[in-house]
Amino acid sequence: MVEADPDLTVLTFQVVGRSQKYNLAVEQAAKEVESIRSAFEKHGIARSTLKTTRFDVARDETYDSKREKRIFHGYDATHGLRIELPRTTDAGAVLDAIATAAPGASIQVSFEIADRDAFRQRLLAAAVEAARRNAETIAGAAGVRLGPIAMIDYGWSEIRFRSGLDYSLNELSLSQNVADMTKFEPKAVEGQEMVTVSWVILDGS
User: With contact defined as beta carbons under 8 Å apart, do 27 and 35 qualify?
Assistant: no
Residue-wise pLDDT tens digits, 29-54 = 999 999 999 988 888 888 888 999 99
* Nearest to 109, CA basis, from 1, 8, 4: 8
Query: How much is the average pLDDT of 13-38?
Result: 92
Q: CA-CA-CA-CA torsion for 55, 61, 62, 65, nearest 10 degrees?
A: -150
d(CA 81, CA 51): 5
**Which residues, in sequence order, are bridge partners of residue 169?**
107
Average pLDDT of the chain is 84
Give pLDDT, residue 70.
84
Residue-wise pLDDT tens digits, 134-177 = 999 999 999 999 999 999 998 777 777 777 655 555 544 444 55
* Residue type at 6 in one-letter notation: P
* Residue type at 61 in one-letter notation: E
Query: How much is the average pLDDT of 191-199?
Result: 91
DSSP structure class, residue 131: H
Measured at the CA of 132, the angle between CA 192 and CA 198, to 5 degrees, comes to 95
* Nearest to 81, CA basis, from 125, 35, 33, 47: 33
Query: Going from the N-terminus, what domains does the chain have, and what CATH number goes with each?
Result: 2-114+160-188 (3.30.70.2970)
